[in-house]
């Protein structure tokens, strides 16, 4: 049997990371961690004040997620993290070399529609624009799969699990 994957579910805001992550973890029989929970207090204070995070703010957050992922090496796990830039993913891989990415992809109209139905979360249009502008999709040398987010969460989870199964397992 293949070594279980440690998966980072990535993508712009509203693509369903928090929705699909736990479902995928359950499907794979591994624990799930919510990436937003790894922010240091200083980042939480900034975000609460509506101040955008800088990349310098993000490194300790990414390192904490990377530490969790590395702790799951050989055991399997799923963690959500937008990981929009290649440099963020490089940072995660520096801590956890075996991670694989599931990039949840959807067009702008679909994501905006889903965001507009989300309870208790207001996302200004400009913020979604900046998310799409910042996004650097997976490059060919990065371990991972892109999964389209049309359809139900169950369908997307199945699509992700099938795509992951086509990747060879980590060698660690
Ligand atoms: N397949 C789906 N079909 C319908 N609604 C969905 C689907 N996936 C997610 N949603 C809804 O879309 C909204 C955004 O999903 P979710 O919160 O999981 O995204 P996210 O990527 O975690 O966003 P953020 O980056 O802001 O944390 C939520 O209201 C969620 O219930
Ligand atoms: Mg989320």
Among 8, 11, 13, 18, which is best to mutate for testing ligand 1, by the most ligand atoms less than 8 A from CB?
Answer: 18
Q: Which of 25-34, 64-73, 122-131 has the lowest mean pLDDT?
A: 122-131
Whether 1 is covered by a domain: the verdict is no
Among the atoms of ligand 1, which is closest to the Cα of residue 11? 21
Q: Which residues span the domain enclosing 81?
A: 6-165
Residue 170 lies in a domain: no
Task: Report the CATH number that the domain containing residue 73 is assigned in CATH.
Answer: 3.40.50.300
Ligand 1: centre distance to CA 17 (Å): 7
For position 122, what pLDDT does the model report?
64
The residue count of the chain comes to 172
> Contact 41/57 with Cβ under 8 angstroms?
no
In three-state form (DSSP H/G/I as H, E/B as E, the rest C), the secondary structure along 97-151 is CCCEEEEEECCHHHHHHHHHCCCCCCCCHHHHHHHHHHCCCCCCCCCEEEEECCC
Starting at the earlier edge strand, list the strands of the sheet with 32-33. Answer: 32-33, 77-80, 6-10, 100-105, 144-148
Query: Which residue is closest in CA terms to ligand 1's atom 9?
Result: 16
The predicted model scores a pTM of 0.95
Confidence of residue 172 (pLDDT cuts 50, 70, 90): very low
117 lies in some domain = yes
The total of other beta-carbon atoms located within 10 Å of residue 8's CB is: 29
Judge whether 125 and 63 are in contact, CB under 8 Å.
no
In a domain, 90, yes or no: yes
> Which of the listed residues 32, 106, 114 should we mutate to test ligand 1's pocket, taking the one with most ligand atoms within 8 A of CB?
114
Tell me if 101 is assigned to some domain.
yes
Q: Does residue 138 belong to any structural domain of this protein?
A: yes
Query: Is 43 contained in some domain?
Result: yes
80 DSSP 8-state letter: E
Tell me the torsion sign for CA atoms 137, 141, 147, 148: positive
Q: Count of domains in the chain?
A: 1
Q: What's the 81 CA to ligand 2 centre distance in angstroms?
A: 8
Q: What is the separation, in whole angstroms, between the first and last Cα of the chain? A: 13
- How far is ligand 2, taken at its centre, from the CA of residue 13, in Å? 7
Residue 171 domain-assigned (yes or no): no
* Span 61-113, pLDDT tens digits: 999 999 999 999 999 999 999 999 999 999 999 999 999 999 999 999 999 99
Q: Atom 26 of ligand 1 has which residue's CA nearest to it?
A: 13
């Amino acid at each position: 049997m293949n070594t279980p994957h440690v998966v980072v579910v990535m993508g712009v805001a509203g693509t369903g990371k928090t929705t699909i992550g736990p479902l995928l973890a359950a499907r794979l029989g591994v624990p799930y961690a919510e990436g937003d929970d790894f922010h240091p207090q200083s980042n939480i204070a900034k975000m609460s004040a509506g101040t955008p995070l800088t990349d310098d703010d993000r490194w300790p957050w990414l390192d904490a997620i990377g530490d969790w992922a590395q702790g799951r090496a050989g055991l399997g796990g799923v963690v959500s993290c937008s990981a929009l830039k290649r440099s963020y993913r490089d940072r995660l891989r520096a801590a956890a070399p075996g991670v694989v990415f599931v990039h949840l992809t959807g067009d702008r109209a679909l994501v905006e529609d889903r965001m507009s139905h989300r309870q208790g979360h207001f996302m200004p249009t400009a913020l979604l624009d900046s998310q799409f502008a910042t996004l650097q999709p997976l490059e060919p040398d990065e371990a991972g799969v892109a999964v389209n987010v049309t359809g139900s969460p169950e369908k997307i989870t199945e699509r992700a699990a099938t795509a992951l199964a086509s990747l060879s397992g980590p060698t660690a």
